[in-house]
């Protein structure tokens, strides 16, 4: 069996964007459990933040025009009529020529529109000497300046980071509707594969590396992972395990058996899952490493056949797995962790395919220096010793020493 429907990397990404749709399952969780989750609906502010105008410094609340023209050589003099206590309502109505002491975060008294920092003031009994002028609203946050009641505070599809959680907390919102965690099914296949916990490795056997690394990446990206027992190189066993995961999960990733071996049933099994609409979209990607990759969508569920080599499987999952998970959660466009680097040496490449070279990164100017990690493509150690993947685009025949290139950081 030959590869068919071989596609370049950018075409695979286009197919993912076209066919992988959000999973419409939501739940309400407490704010303490919401970190990293995806917001299921727009969150509206139900009050102004801050709820009162307040000072951003320790100082004296004033009418700004009372300070115009003052300086260290010609200070202004204002009458101090009191001070605002932290966390208390201000009851002062400041008139022209008056000032009130206010701490950082304290309520701005009525009649004031600025605060002079304490460093620019000298108080003598009930008189304060002001040695610096302030503009209107200087050192002040106005009521509703941060958030206005009724405006969209957090948009649907946003991943909740500490700053979003803080914004929700500032409004007293203690629960939030989020997309249920995407459930990813993972299945390793092959008679040569044994559980990674196998202590005494029989001759000819290989521990299941992908069964640890791929689920770990999926969990790191916010998915829940269901892992099957290893499937034998037997169509019936392989399909039974794949079918079980396909039914209970939102997407299925299968490692091994996606190349052209006599016992490679992956393509046949994948084609049999679901309603077959639209079915297998990609069988082979013009990329090195990772050409034996399959992408299918059936019954609205994506199914990916990953290469068996651990290095290749991780690289393909870095390229496409995060994008699939993001689309399933409704995040939409994905911004991969990329950057620029300067190549330490000439690296040849074959035009017509995208090459990803494992590299270490060292400090450099203006960009870090990317040095290839030497070793055969299937070696796990080359991944352990790498910081990123250097991308050589399909039309190029390689990159030259000192050339600026794109690198994909390991996530």
Four-CA torsion 219, 294, 377, 190, nearest 10 degrees: 80
Q: Are 213 and 302 in the same domain?
A: yes
Q: Are 32 and 152 in the same domain?
A: yes
Task: Give a yes or no: residue 1 inside a domain.
Answer: no
Q: Taking residues 52-74, what's their average pLDDT?
A: 95
pLDDT digits (tens, 9 = 90+) for 66-86: 999 999 899 999 999 999 999
pLDDT digits (tens, 9 = 90+) for 297-344: 999 999 999 998 888 898 899 889 989 998 998 876 665 678 899 999
Compute the mean pLDDT over every residue in the chain, rounded to the nearest whole number.
Answer: 90
Reading the block at residue 16, the tokens are 């993912």
Task: Give a yes or no: residue 4 inside a domain.
Answer: no
Q: Are 169 and 256 in the same domain?
A: no
Task: Give a yes or no: residue 169 inside a domain.
Answer: yes
Give how many domains the chain has, as a whole number. 4
Is residue 261 scored above 60 in pLDDT?
A: no
Q: Are 212 and 170 in the same domain?
A: no
Task: Give a yes or no: residue 388 inside a domain.
Answer: yes
Q: Are 303 and 198 in the same domain?
A: yes
Q: Are 251 and 276 in the same domain?
A: yes
Q: Are 185 and 286 in the same domain?
A: yes
Q: Are 220 and 313 in the same domain?
A: yes
Residue 213 CB coordination number (10 Å): 19
Name the 3-class secondary structure at 17. helix
In CATH, what number is assigned to the domain containing residue 385?
A: 2.40.340.10
Q: Are 253 and 352 in the same domain?
A: no
Is residue 396 scored above 60 in pLDDT?
A: yes
Enclosing domain of residue 364:
338-409
Q: Are 105 and 45 in the same domain?
A: no
Q: Are 214 and 300 in the same domain?
A: yes
Sequence-distant (6+) residues with CB within 8 A of 326 are 221, 332, 334
């Amino acid at each position: 069996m030959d590869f068919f429907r071989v596609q370049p990397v950018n075409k695979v990404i286009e197919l993912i964007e076209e066919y992988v749709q959000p999973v419409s399952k939501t739940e309400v969780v407490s704010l303490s459990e919401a970190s990293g989750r995806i917001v299921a609906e727009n969150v509206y502010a139900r009050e102004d933040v801050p709820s009162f105008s307040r000072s951003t410094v320790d100082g004296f609340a004033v009418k700004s025009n009372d300070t115009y023209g003052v300086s260290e050589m010609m200070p202004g003099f204002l009458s101090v009529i009191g001070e605002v206590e932290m966390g208390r309502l201000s009851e002062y109505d400041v008139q022209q020529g008056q000032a009130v002491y206010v701490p950082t975060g304290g309520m701005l008294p009525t009649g004031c529109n600025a605060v002079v920092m304490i460093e620019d003031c000298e108080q003598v009994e009930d008189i304060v000497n002001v040695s610096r002028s302030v503009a209107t609203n200087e050192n002040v946050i106005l009521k509703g300046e941060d958030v206005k009641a009724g405006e969209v505070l957090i948009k649907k599809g946003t991943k909740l980071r500490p700053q979003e959680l803080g914004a929700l907390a500032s409004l007293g919102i203690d629960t939030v509707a989020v997309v249920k965690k995407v459930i990813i099914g993972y299945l390793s296949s092959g008679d040569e594969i044994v559980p990674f916990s196998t202590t005494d490795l029989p001759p000819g056997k290989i521990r299941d590396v992908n069964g640890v690394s791929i689920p770990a990446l999926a969990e790191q990206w916010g998915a829940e992972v269901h892992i099957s027992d290893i499937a034998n190189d037997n169509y019936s066993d392989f399909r039974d395990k794949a079918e079980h995961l396909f039914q209970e999960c939102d997407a299925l990733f299968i490692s091994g058996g996606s190349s052209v071996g006599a016992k490679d049933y992956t393509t046949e099994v994948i084609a049999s899952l679901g309603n077959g609409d639209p079915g297998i979209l990609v069988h082979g990607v013009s990329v090195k490493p990772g050409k034996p990759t399959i992408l299918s969508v059936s019954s609205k569920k994506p199914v990916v056949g990953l290469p068996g080599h651990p290095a290749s499987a991780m690289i393909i999952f870095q390229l496409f797995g995060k994008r699939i998970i993001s689309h399933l959660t409704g995040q939409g466009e994905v911004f991969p962790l990329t950057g620029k680097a300067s190549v330490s040496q000439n690296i040849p490449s074959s035009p017509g395919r995208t090459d990803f070279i494992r590299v270490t990164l060292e400090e450099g100017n203006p960009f870090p220096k990317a040095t290839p990690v030497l070793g055969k493509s299937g070696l796990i150690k080359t991944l352990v010793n790498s910081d990123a993947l250097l991308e050589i685009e399909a039309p190029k025949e390689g990159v030259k020493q000192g050339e600026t290139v794109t690198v994909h950081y390991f996530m």
